[in-house]
């Protein structure tokens, strides 16, 4: 899953660099990105609150991950939270900048503070961004992302949150002890 999150970070960064800037008077910008594995990400940038929210859905339209970043005055992410499909906080990220205000590194940390991934940004002599390098620091520290369950049967009034419902886990049937063979029953041990 860590390579999947790195893939989405890489896609987001390259699409953010390649996209022309939206007009200055547009407070909210939204876009959808479709990935080769039939998953897609929906990104919403709110310039009035300087926030970016990216929701990633699998091929079955189930929410897999949600990222919420704070943006600086240039519209670049500075720090953020990463949630699994059920809305549980699983990781945090921090972006580091150079003296020119360009992103140089993004580090992702699990809830224990262990860095599990680094994305390193480099620039050529003209200041053009090169392809980011993804370094998976500690694979054991990477959080497990779980798909969320979306219930379309219950609806809430706008602005209200729906209560989380427990998803039943199927019970395993009890395992019967293995019977002794005919010879063991006849002769004992």
Domain ranges of the chain: 2-141
How many residues can be counted in the chain? 189
Beta bridge partners of 57: 40, 63
Q: Residue 146 has what pLDDT? A: 65
**Confidence category of residue 173, pLDDT binned at 50, 70, 90:** low
Q: Residue 79 has what pLDDT? A: 95
Q: What are the tens digits of pLDDT across the range 4-23? A: 454 444 445 545 544 555 55
Whether the predicted model's global pTM rises above the 0.85 cut: no
Higher pLDDT pick, 2 / 134: 134
Q: Residue 162 has what pLDDT? A: 47
Q: What are the tens digits of pLDDT across the range 36-47? A: 999 999 999 999
């Amino acid at each position: 899953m860590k390579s999947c999150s790195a893939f989405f970070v890489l896609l987001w960064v390259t699409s953010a660099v390649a996209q022309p800037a939206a007009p200055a008077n547009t407070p909210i910008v939204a876009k959808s990105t479709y990935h080769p594995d039939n998953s897609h990400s929906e990104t919403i940038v709110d310039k009035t609150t300087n926030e970016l929210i990216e929701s990633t859905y699998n091929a079955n339209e189930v929410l897999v991950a949600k990222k919420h970043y704070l943006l600086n005055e240039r519209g670049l992410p500075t720090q953020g939270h990463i949630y699994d499909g059920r809305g549980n906080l699983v990781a945090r990220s921090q972006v580091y900048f150079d003296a020119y205000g360009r992103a140089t590194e993004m580090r992702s940390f699990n809830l224990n503070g262990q860095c599990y991934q680094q994305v390193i940004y480099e620039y050529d002599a003209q200041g053009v961004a090169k392809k980011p390098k993804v370094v998976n620091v500690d694979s054991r520290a990477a959080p497990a992302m779980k798909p969320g369950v979306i219930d379309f049967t219950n609806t809430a009034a706008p602005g209200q949150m729906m209560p989380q419902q427990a998803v039943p886990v199927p019970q395993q049937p009890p395992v019967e002890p293995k019977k002794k063979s005919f010879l063991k029953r006849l002769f004992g041990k």
